[in-house]
Amino acid sequence: MHRKDFIRSGFLLCTPYVLPLRGIMRTSAGDEDYIMTVNGHIPAARAGFTLTHEHILVDFIGADKITTSRYNADEVYNKALPVLQEAVENGCKTLVECTPNYLGRNTALLQRLSKASGLHIISNTGYYGAAKEKFLPKHAYTDSAKQLAARWINEWETGIEGTGIKPGFIKTGVDAFPLSPVQQKLIEAAALTHLSTGLTFGVHTGNGEAALEELKIIKAMRVRPEAWVWIHAQSERNRQVHVQVAKEGGWVSFDGLNDGSVQQYIQFLKDMKAEKLLHRTLISHDAGWYHVGEPGGGRFRSFNTVFKLMLPLLRKEGFNEGEIQQVFIVNPAKALTVKVRRA
């Protein structure tokens, strides 16, 4: 692949034709690795430049009060579409929408926006147990890990809430160490769901000690850490925990990039590069979104920082195009590939 195929006006652009990419392999003859979008599966090598943790709509009202009647879907669509179109113009091909069930997940809306923008959008199954468990349904406490997994597996097999749209990964969340019993159960349920579906699971994690506790649970469930994304690794200041998790095989995801934190995130990449661990690293904004309950949905933060600020600075700091491609194209495609990683 030639540099001119994916560079335009100083930004890294990705077309559907830049394949095969190094590190994205066929599982068998004639059988490509794939990821699942809201419009169905696509070859992993066609995902292109991917933002691995973003949001389009979020409702913080709580699991016991949430309903789609709290907002107008057309208003959300009209607010989100120009932002997504701008991301596409900047070179984004795939966006991972990390809003889970009971926090505002709306896959029909995501599918509508995907078709209108031309952006591959990936939704999720799973429950979010962070924020003191405000967004957990009551049955999360009474169901066993196997019962929770059965609910999530059913969304993979039959589609989400009658839409026929399948999740592309599992999203859950925990607070800081030590994990509560229900948070531990969520990790177990995610591991069981992975073993049945091949879906990768991303865990919003309060700190590094919690990430290491997750790692212990995952390994006990006989799942390889390659199936797990440590979301919000930037919250842990001890860089050696990043290194430990990456060396174990987990995905270390620095989510929260904004215009004021670019240098910090470049340093994260420098540190991982120095340890020869760029191949286990993910970067995203955790940006957006339509805030249900705020007038007009509040401020919708764009997905531009990585394109307009971070990529030019990475080049100035000596990162070559192969390394940039590794972080923003190859790694996300490998992380999101639907494939069982059994220990």
- The CATH number given to whatever domain includes residue 156 is 3.20.20.140
Answer whether 0.85 is exceeded by the pTM.
yes
| Domain assignment present for 68 | yes
pLDDT interval class at 32 (50, 70, 90): confident
pLDDT digits (tens, 9 = 90+) for 237-296: 999 999 999 999 999 999 999 999 999 999 999 999 999 999 999 999 999 999 999 999
Task: Work out the percent of the chain whose per-residue pLDDT is above 70.
Answer: 91
Can you give the pLDDT at residue 100?
98
| Domain assignment present for 25 | no
Q: Which domain holds residue 243?
A: 6-15+36-336
pLDDT digits (tens, 9 = 90+) for 287-342: 999 999 999 999 999 999 999 999 999 999 999 999 999 999 999 999 999 999 99
Per-residue pLDDT at 11 exceeds 80: no
d(CA 178, CA 333): 31
Q: Which of 229, 246, 93, 95 is nearest to 170 (CA)?
A: 229
How many structural domains are present in the chain? 1
Per-residue pLDDT at 137 exceeds 70: yes
CB atoms within 10 A of CB 209: 16
| Domain assignment present for 28 | no
Q: Are 122 and 35 in contact (CB under 8 A)?
A: yes
| Domain assignment present for 145 | yes
Identify the DSSP state of 178.
S
Q: Please give the average per-residue pLDDT across 153-163, as a whole number.
A: 98
**Nearest-5° Cα angle at 13, 84 to 30:** 100
Can you give the pLDDT at residue 31?
72
